[in-house]
Amino acid sequence: MDTIWSCGFGLDTDMQNNVNDPYLLMSQKVFSPNIILGILFILALLITELTAVWRIIFWSLGSIRYGLRRYIPVTKRFIDESPGTWILKQATEMIEKRKHIGQTGRTDLLQLMLESMSDEDFIQEGQASFEKNDDTEVEAPLVRKITKHEISANIFLFMIAGYETTSTALAYVTYVLSTYPDEQRKLQEHIDAHFNPETEHIMPTYETIVKMDYLDMFIRETLRMFPIAPMAITRQSVDDFHIKGFGAIPTGTLITVDMFNLHFNPNLWGPLDPYEFHPERFATKRHPMAWIPFGAGPRNCVGMRFALLEMKMQLMYLKVSLTILCQCLHLNLPLKKKIEGQFIYLRFQLLDQQFRFDLDRYL
């Protein structure tokens, strides 16, 4: 989350060390179970004919809550602000602040979006701003600018889409490290062969990371076996079409991809059993649609390269932290003083018995 806020919006948060950070609390709330949504979801599954009604009820509840808090301030005591509203408010403030201080010299996402911002509040679908070239009388290509509302909505989306996803994927990586000790050792040797924190900067460089093929395969294999957003790839048919051996699919049908079936299909991933963790299977060229944890096509995950890089850096940094930890133990210095940041402790809490055992031997 710290990384998203910093790279995306130039905001330096410190959630690793401050579990009460309001941005962290609100983002966690977005993912916390919502009883009303749960009930409406079950009703929508059971009585599909009334789906539109359930949707209207859900949206009306949000508006009622917002209206009550806005127009009858005393209700603020009993009704919490919705985390979505809070985050959107921060996003709008962030835009205003950045507009006020002007160019920051940063190339973060917010700056890029502000540079393409339109002065209009809303742009109708299909409308766009044109840049006319007076010299040649040739109409310049269509330039679609984005509005302030779209920027705040995108800040919200990036924060939500980029937080839980990468952290859950990293949790699965630690699970794999603990349950496949041989792979763990192999990965460690691979990192050692490519990166020496004593001679290089404490953080690996981009050039170092892109050379590390086994690290890349390790993460891809984890996401093959544990795709963290299997239900996220949904599409709606815009025309009637026909699938051989299946039948007709009418216009408007909602379609979800069966990611598990693809990721564990022996014809796509053999000859080794797809239920075995084996990163090297990625050294063989596979069907382009066999691995889709980030979706596919023009609306696939825009954060894919960012997420992969983030995960690789975390894994390498975990290794660096282990080295520092070993040095501390060896010198018998108070760990808390020596290790900067609490994050290493959090990571250790995630590791299970086997990995702890391995860790003991390593130390």
> What would the x/- binding string for ligand HEM be over residues 205 to 244, using CB under 6 A?
-----------------------xx--xx-----------
- 162 versus 279: smaller Cβ distance to ligand HEM: 162
Q: Which is nearer to ligand HEM, 161 or 177 (CB)?
A: 161
Counting contacts by CB under 6 A, is residue 307 touching ligand HEM? Answer: yes
42 close to 51: Cβ distance less than 8 angstroms: no
Q: Tell me which stretch binds ligand HEM (CB under 6 A): 100-108, 171-179, 300-308, 352-360.
A: 300-308
Q: For the chain, give the longest Cα–Cα distance.
A: 76
- For the bound state, the minimum distance from the C-beta of residue 164 to ligand HEM, rounded and expressed in Å, comes to 9
CA angle 297, 314, 5 (to 5 degrees): 70
Which one-letter amino acid corresponds to residue 135? D
Burial of 96 by CB count in 10 Å (0-12 exposed, 13-18 middle, 19+ buried)? exposed
Which lies closer to ligand HEM via its Cβ, residue 8 or residue 204?
8
Contact with ligand HEM (CB under 6 A) among 57, 123, 249, 302: 302
| Residue 174 interacts with ligand HEM (CB under 6 A): yes or no | no
Please count the other Cβ atoms lying within 10 Å of the Cβ belonging to residue 208.
17
Residue 60 beta carbon to ligand HEM: minimum distance, rounded to whole angstroms: 26
Using alpha carbons, list the distances in angstroms from residue 322 to 167, 360, 361: 20, 11, 13
Residue 289 tokens, joined: 């649609």
Candidates 13, 27, 90, 165; binder of ligand HEM (CB under 6 A) is 165
Using CB under 6 A, which of the segments 278-286, 298-306, 325-333, 336-344 binds ligand HEM?
A: 298-306
φ/ψ (deg, to 5) at 143: -115, 115
116 lies in the binding site for ligand HEM (CB under 6 A): no
Q: Answer whether 11's CB lies under 8 Å from 94's CB.
A: yes
Report, in Å, the least distance between residue 296 CB and ligand HEM.
5
Measured CA to CA, the distance from residue 301 to residue 223 in angstroms comes to: 14
Q: Where are the alpha helices (DSSP H) in the chain?
A: 2-9, 22-31, 35-46, 51-71, 83-101, 109-115, 148-179, 181-194, 206-211, 213-225, 259-263, 266-269, 304-331, 335-338, 343-350, 353-362
Select the span of 43-51, 52-60, 155-163, 202-210 touching ligand HEM (CB under 6 A). 155-163
Q: Confirm whether residue 301 is marked as ligand binding.
A: yes
- Can you tell me the distance from the alpha carbon of 93 to that of 179, in angstroms, rounded to the nearest whole number? 45
Q: Single out the residue of 299, 330, 337, 361 in contact with ligand HEM (rule: CB under 6 A).
A: 299
Size of the site for ligand HEM (CB under 6 A): 23
- Mention every residue, 6+ apart, whose C-beta is less than 8 A from residue 310: 3, 166
DSSP, res 243: E
Residue closer to ligand HEM (CB basis): 302 or 359: 302
151 counts as binding ligand HEM under rule CB under 6 A: no
Q: Considering the complex, what minimum distance in angstroms separates the CB of residue 148 from ligand HEM? A: 18
- Both tokens assigned to 96: 């205003």
Interacting positions 267-296 with ligand HEM (CB under 6 A): 293-296
Contacts to ligand HEM by CB under 6 A: 4, 157-158, 161-162, 165-166, 169, 228-229, 232-233, 293-296, 299-303, 306-307
- Binding-site members for heme are 301
